[in-house]
Structure 1
Amino acid sequence: MRIIKPCTYTVLSLALASVTQMTMAQDAHHSMSMLTQHESHSSHDSSHQEMQTEIKSSQMVHTAEHAEHAEHAEHAEHAKASSIASRADSAQHPVDHKREHGGQIYQATKIDNRWLNNADGSGSLKTEIESRIGTDKNELFIKLHADKAESQDADYAAQVMYSRMISDFWDAQIGARYRVDEHQVTEKEQLDAVVGLHGLAPYFFETDAYLYLGADKQVSFSLETERDLLLTQKLILKPYLNLDVVLSDDSAYAQKTGLSSVWLGLETRYEINKKLMPFIDVAYSYEKGNQHTAWQAETGSEKHWWYGAGFRLKF
């Protein structure tokens, strides 16, 4: 049996320890390398998975957008088809909207009946009827007038006109006037052409202006204007002006040319309702008179104050 010396034993121990340390270091390095490689592979796998998730999300978004676009296109095609079908149905079955835009036919009639007396005690009954029927743009306009002085025959006049709206406040009118004058021995009946305007003048004056053309160079102009002034909702003042101008007249009963007659008055009415309205009237009149002809003597002008009352009907 060989005996190992202490020094030799020491050297062997140191060598064995060094080999052991080197082996442990190599194992630790190998373990760290394996761990690093594993973490690297794990990170690469995670990045790959995230990329795949993003790709799938992008594909899903694109798919949803494509589906949405397809749905919008389908809705647009459906709306277009519905519009075409609606137009075709409207063409086959047109809808009349005239009633909603002023195309309806309506009728209105006003009757004025008044008894007036002057300072001389002479009385006169005046009746006026105005009726219209049609739409806002086109109307048949009728005016009737009767004037009966006390103890005398009545004079009548009737106008029938076509009325056409030419602006928001004015209608142009054209038609004919038929009149009867019982004071005349001959030519009691006359027929005149009429052209004029009916509407609302500035400051709310309701106005009728007419030009009359008749036989024997009878040309005249008439103007009627009035305005309502409300004292209350039912008590109303109405100043009015009626005048006639003779431009020419070569008839057997010719009137003097120029301003022929004027009525300037003030009416005060009380509206019981919109259909019945009694009133009192005060007016001043001027009549120029007639020319001298083979059938009549010349007459001078006359001026009178008139007082009276009456009533108005609307329906």
Structure 2
Amino acid sequence: MRIIKPCTYTVLSLALASVTQMTMAQDAHHSMPMSAQHESHSSLDSSHQVMQTRIESNKMEHTAEHAEHAEHAEHAEHAEHANASFIASRADSAQHPVDHKREHGGQIYQATEIDSRWLNNADGRGRLKTEIESRIGTDENKLFIKLHADKAESQDADYAAQLMYSRMISDFWDAQIGARYRVDEHQVTDKEQLDAAVGLHGLAPYFFETDAYLYLGTDKQVSFSLETERDFLLTQKLILKPYLNLDVVLSDDSAYAQKTGLSSVWLGLETRYEINKKLMPFIDVAYSYEKGNQHTAWQAETGSEKQWWYGAGLRLKF
């Protein structure tokens, strides 16, 4: 019989004990009730789910933290670009200042209106009246040029030219100052007169377009004139326009003096058809009153005249 060494015996003993322990554990597991086994598996699954949830939560936290850092970095970059753009625009504005007058009434515009009409009275005498008005400038400062011609049939014509500087003083009114030059071919002396003029041009309440002027001339000639009119639209093209023109003589010591007080009045109704905004024919019916002239060394006194006028005309705008 061979003799086993003590160390070999010890190793074999340990191996035998280990196998025996594993066999007993398997027998115990198989003999364990099903509920206990299920609880064991459930606890393991729960532990696994908790670990998985913690892992996912950590991932979400890291993702959110990364997004927050990215957002902060993006905001900082945008702020830096905006600041750089603002500094660049300020520097450009300092070098090239922008003028916004053209966007706020600073445009220079021009408009011209020609109004010519032929009128007849009850006696069949005709009269040609022509008005030309041209304006140029901005909303605040304008220059007005007005030309007037009045020729009665078989008589010489009267002419007048007026140059006015116009300055806006409110939303609807301009103050004007200038001069008027007039020629009267009926007079033997002083055919040409020069008057200083001051007045208002604008829109009176209820949309009455108004021109009111005070004239100061030689020989204590002081007079006041008023022209006002308003449009009433029957259609977009057919328009009624009542108008009133009057002259008041405050004083006159000239050789061909007019009677003081209300010197003349024209009250009329114009009906026009606008073919377009540049071409507008019309018919006109008016009532006139003229007070007459004083008796002087150069003229005889004349009485007042009242009469009706009717006719047609053409207005051009460009």
CA RMSD of aligned residues (A): 8.3
Structure 1 runs (4+) deviating above 4 angstroms are 1-80
The equivalent of 2:16 in structure 1 is 16
Q: CA deviation at 1:96?
A: 2.5
Per the alignment, residue 74 of structure 1 pairs with 74
User: Is 298-307 or 24-33 further displaced after alignment?
Assistant: 24-33
Percent identity between matched residues is 92
Give 1:84 deviation, angstroms. 2.5
User: Secondary structure, in 3 states, of the residue corresponding to 2:150?
Assistant: strand
The CA distance in 2 between the partners of 1:5 and 1:65, in whole Å, is 67
Relative to 1, partners in 2 of residues 1:87 and 1:305: Cα closer, same or farther, differing over 3 Å? Answer: same
Unaligned runs of 5+ in 2: none
After superposing the two structures, state which structure 1 stretch, 22-31 or 132-141, moved more: 22-31
Shift of 1:85: 2.2
Once the 2 structures are TM-superposed, how far is the Cα of residue 100 of structure 1 from its aligned partner? 1.8
Instruction: Give the Cα–Cα distance (whole angstroms) in 1 for the partners of residues 109 and 12 of structure 2.
Output: 136
- CA offset digits 1:214-240 (Å, max 9, x no partner): 111111100000011111111111100
Tell me the alpha carbon deviations over residues 80-111 of structure 1, each in whole angstroms, 9 at most, x when there is no partner.
84323211211111222222222111111110
Residue 180 (structure 1) aligned to one of 183, 187, 190: 183
Instruction: State the 1:67 CA deviation.
Output: 11
Give the CA deviation at 1:78.
7.5
User: 1:149-184, CA deviations, whole angstroms, 9 ceiling, x for partnerless residues?
Assistant: 111111001111111111111111111111001111
Rounded Cα–Cα distance in structure 2 between residues aligned with 1:7 and 1:70: 67
Measured after TM superposition, the shift of residue 61 of structure 1 is 9.2
Other-structure match for 2:117: 114
Range that drifts further, 142-151 or 54-63: 54-63
Give SS of 1:71's match. Answer: helix
Distance in 1 of aligned mates of 2:251 and 2:19:
152
Quote the Cα distance in structure 1 between the aligned partners of 2:4 and 2:97. 129
1: CA distance, partners of 2:178 / 2:6: 157
Q: For 1:240 and 1:250, locate their aligned partners in 2 and report how far apart those are by CA, in whole Å.
A: 31
Cα 1:216–1:71 shift into 2, 3 Å: farther
The verdict on how the C-alpha distance between 1:51 and 1:172 changes in structure 2, with shifts beyond 3 A counting, is: farther
Secondary structure of residue in 1 paired with 2:196: strand
How far off is 1:206 after superposition?
0.7
The normalised TM-score by structure 2 is 0.76
Does 1:255 find its partner at 2:293? no
C-alpha distance 258-26 of structure 1, shift in aligned 2 (>3 A): same
The CA deviation string for residues 204-259 of structure 1, in whole angstroms up to 9 with x for no partner, is 11111111111111111000000111111111111000000011111111111110
- Could you list the per-position Cα deviations for residues 240-289 of structure 1 after superposition, in whole angstroms to 9, with x for gaps in the alignment? 00000011111111111110000000011111111111111000000001
- Output the CA distance in 2 between the equivalents of 1:85 and 1:13: 91
Q: Compared with structure 1, are the counterparts of its residues 188 and 51 closer, same or farther at alpha carbon in structure 2 (3 Å cutoff)?
A: farther
Greater CA deviation, 55-64 or 275-284? 55-64
**Tell me, what secondary structure is at the counterpart of 2:259?**
coil
Structure 1 stretch displaced more, 233-242 or 20-29: 20-29
Q: How many residues align?
A: 315
Of the structure 1 ranges 96-105 and 153-162, higher mean CA displacement relative to structure 2 is found in 96-105
- CA spacing shift, 1:246–1:38, aligned 2, 3 Å: same
Q: Is 45-54 or 181-190 further displaced after alignment? A: 45-54
